[in-house]
Amino acid sequence: MTSIPRQLLITGGAGFIAGNLVHHWASVHPGDRIVVLDALTYAGNRATIAPLIDADRISFVQGDIGDRALVDGLLAENAITHVAHLAAESHVDRSITGPGAFLATNVNGTFTLLEAFRAHWLAAGSPTDWRFLHVSTDEVFGSLEPGDPPFNETTPYSPRSPYAASKAASDHLARAWQHTYGLPVLVSNCSNNYGPYHFPEKLIPLTLINILLGRPIPVYGDGSNVRDWLYVEDHCRALERVLLGGEPGRTYCIGGCNEVANIDLVQILCSLMDELAPDLPVRPSRELIRFVADRPGHDRRYAIDATRIREELGWEPQVTVQEGLRRTVSWYLAHPGWWQPLLSADYANYLESQYAARLA
């Protein structure tokens, strides 16, 4: 990996994974300049990266990746050489009730970013060492049954939710821009992340916050759906490897080799909270578990074969799921100042619309 200073644009940097990536990148590449572009949707939280923002090294711009004039200006003024593109609408349940925003950001926003970066790259004489990393998901591959081999880079696309379809479309755009225009684009497809700064609509942070507030924990269907969990810092280390060492035009699958059924995961979280949280309104926490109506089209199982990134880029997860979940629980217990302000009226309305009927 080269240590020449880079000018890096991280989109979605006030969100969960990209926020963690800003922290990671700032600590391991202190000579690089980082510009964060984030629209601050409901999922964006400036507090995630606020302590890092300083005019010389890390700057924050509130704006939409679909705003071509804004993106053109940012790329040129900051002489951006590398893009890590993570801005997205990311929640499957919201894509089922309101798919429009997913097409606008994930498809059209990615298109705008690719076009702006292409113009910027051409104007600089098509440098061969510039990079655009498009960060995507394993959900583009569809759903596995128990016993099926895990997804890898040759698995055909079969997206099944509006979210997954929008990410699949954006992956195809990213690869087409590399193939047609020679733009130095890389694509990564990762399994479920967890860790600090995760918005409490996703299963793990929702479970933790509900336990702290004594509210029911909704488990969809019979709880037997399986996800492959990866600690977010391990994902950030993988993204760093791909961005700096990956081959343009290539795709890298990233996963934790940690398949866990949802009900088992929730039980582990309940036990950790019983052990680590001093005061809980309901104890044992597992009394809060409620099996509720299933997510429409709920994918049964995801699993990733990460052989390529391990063999070609030397990446392996460092954090076991036992250790990562313990760290995550401890982080939420130690940082109420991060998550309490998120429990707004909008958030309450969202929960009401998602869960009221299911929990009735």
Contacted entry of ligand NAD, ligand DAU, none for residue 12, CB cut-off 5 to 8 Å set by kind:
ligand NAD
Q: Please answer whether residues 186 and 114 qualify as being in contact, where contact means their C-beta atoms are separated by less than 8 angstroms.
A: no
Nearer to ligand DAU, 22 or 219 (CB): 219
Cα–Cα dist 111/105, whole Å: 9
Encoded tokens for 237:
């280390």
* Active-site residue (options: 138, 233, 234, 240): 138
Spell out the residues 6+ positions from residue 46 whose beta carbon is closer than 8 angstroms to its own. 14, 40, 60
56 among known catalytic residues: no
Nearer to ligand DAU, 52 or 204 (CB): 204
Contacted entry of ligand NAD, ligand DAU, none for residue 21, CB cut-off 5 to 8 Å set by kind:
none
Let me know how long the chain is: 360
- Give the CA count within 13 Å in the CB-facing half-sphere of 33: 13
Q: Which residues bind ligand NAD (CB under 6 A)?
A: 11-12, 14-18, 37-41, 43-44, 64-66, 86-90, 105, 109, 135-137, 167, 190, 192-193, 199
Contacted entry of ligand NAD, ligand DAU, none for residue 183, CB cut-off 5 to 8 Å set by kind:
none
* Least distance between ligand DAU and beta carbon 292 (Å): 7
332 among known catalytic residues: no
Contacted entry of ligand NAD, ligand DAU, none for residue 65, CB cut-off 5 to 8 Å set by kind:
ligand NAD
Identify the helix (H) or strand (E) that includes residue 332. Answer: helix 321-334
Nearer to ligand NAD, 38 or 233 (CB): 38
From 265, 274, 237, select the one nearest 322 (Cα to Cα).
265
91 binds ligand DAU (CB under 6 A): yes
Write the binding mask 242 to 271 for ligand DAU: x where contact by CB under 6 A, - elsewhere. --------------------x---------
191 binds ligand DAU (CB under 6 A): yes
- Give the CA count within 13 Å in the CB-facing half-sphere of 269: 29
Write the binding mask 107 to 146 for ligand DAU: x where contact by CB under 6 A, - elsewhere. ------------------------------xxx-------
Among the listed residues 46, 295, 326, 327, the single contact to ligand DAU using CB under 6 A: 295
Q: Please answer whether residues 177 and 118 qualify as being in contact, where contact means their C-beta atoms are separated by less than 8 angstroms.
A: yes
Four-residue CA torsion sign, 44, 331, 327, 279: negative
Q: Which stretch binds ligand DAU (CB under 6 A): 69-77, 89-97, 118-126, 317-325?
A: 89-97
* Active-site residue (options: 32, 64, 93, 163): 163
Q: Which residue is nearest to ligand DAU, using beta carbons?
A: 137
From 211, 192, 215, 203, select the one nearest 333 (Cα to Cα).
211
Nearer to ligand NAD, 162 or 288 (CB): 162
Q: Please answer whether residues 141 and 155 qualify as being in contact, where contact means their C-beta atoms are separated by less than 8 angstroms.
A: yes
Contacted entry of ligand NAD, ligand DAU, none for residue 225, CB cut-off 5 to 8 Å set by kind:
ligand DAU
- 33 forms bridges with which residues in the sheet? 7
Four-residue CA torsion sign, 214, 220, 226, 232: negative
- 259 forms bridges with which residues in the sheet? 228
Encoded tokens for 232:
């977010």
Helix axes of 203-213 and 262-276: crossing angle, nearest 10 degrees: 40
139 among known catalytic residues: yes
* Least distance between ligand DAU and beta carbon 290 (Å): 10
218 binds ligand DAU (CB under 6 A): yes
Q: Please answer whether residues 94 and 19 qualify as being in contact, where contact means their C-beta atoms are separated by less than 8 angstroms.
A: no
Alpha helices by DSSP H, listed for 29-91, are: 68-77
Spell out the residues 6+ positions from residue 84 whose beta carbon is closer than 8 angstroms to its own. 8, 9, 10, 11, 18, 21, 133, 135, 239, 243
* Least distance between ligand NAD and beta carbon 214 (Å): 25
Among the listed residues 52, 144, 203, 351, the single contact to ligand DAU using CB under 6 A: 203
Q: Which residues are catalytic, by number?
A: 138-139, 163
Binding site for ligand DAU (CB under 6 A): 90-92, 137-139, 191-192, 202-203, 206, 218-220, 225, 227, 262, 295, 302
